[in-house]
Amino acid sequence: MNLKKKHDVNISVIQLDPSEIKAEILLSAEDGGLPDIIIIPSDFLGMHKLMKLYPIPQRWYRENLTPTVRDTVKLQGSYWGIPLIQGNFLLLYYNKKYVQHPATDFNDIILAKNQFIKKKYYANGVELQ
């Protein structure tokens, strides 16, 4: 289908090297040159403010998406993307000495991060003074 003829819309597709995607998106957001649609890994969700993303309206979600799948793109009560592919199995390891209740969603991770910073626990597990 020719979208230009039918809808008067031009579409251009740019594929970036995976190692450059994050930097390109952040630079584009800073310069005000973001595309209308981007396909990125869901682990970029934590940078939604830096990337200047807008929440996705609830009505855009199809009924056949399970709550578990929807939750992969949900943060602070809003959906920040539409899941296209499932299966990027990222793992979160934690030290039981410092974590009594493992995180089950991004909100838990953010809360834990803030608590760790207050206690001067940092990502490498070393206390900085």
- pTM exceeds 0.95, yes or no: no
105 against 125, higher pLDDT: 105
Q: What is the pLDDT of residues 55-114, one digit of tens each?
A: 988 888 767 778 888 888 888 888 888 888 776 566 677 778 878 888 887 788 888 888
Please provide residue 75's backbone torsions phi and psi, each rounded to the nearest 5 degrees. Answer: -150, 135
The DSSP symbol for 119 reads T
Our CA angle for 35, 38, 40, nearest 5°, is 145
- Which residue type, as a one-letter code, is found at position 99? V
CA 45 to mean position of chain CA atoms: 1
Number of H helices, E strands in the chain: 4, 2
Would you state the pLDDT for residue 128? Answer: 42
Reported as a pLDDT band with limits 50, 70 and 90, residue 129 is very low
Q: Are strands 74-75 and 78-79 parallel, antiparallel or unpaired?
A: antiparallel
Distance CA 101, CA 97 (A): 11
Binning pLDDT at 50, 70 and 90, where does residue 15 land? confident
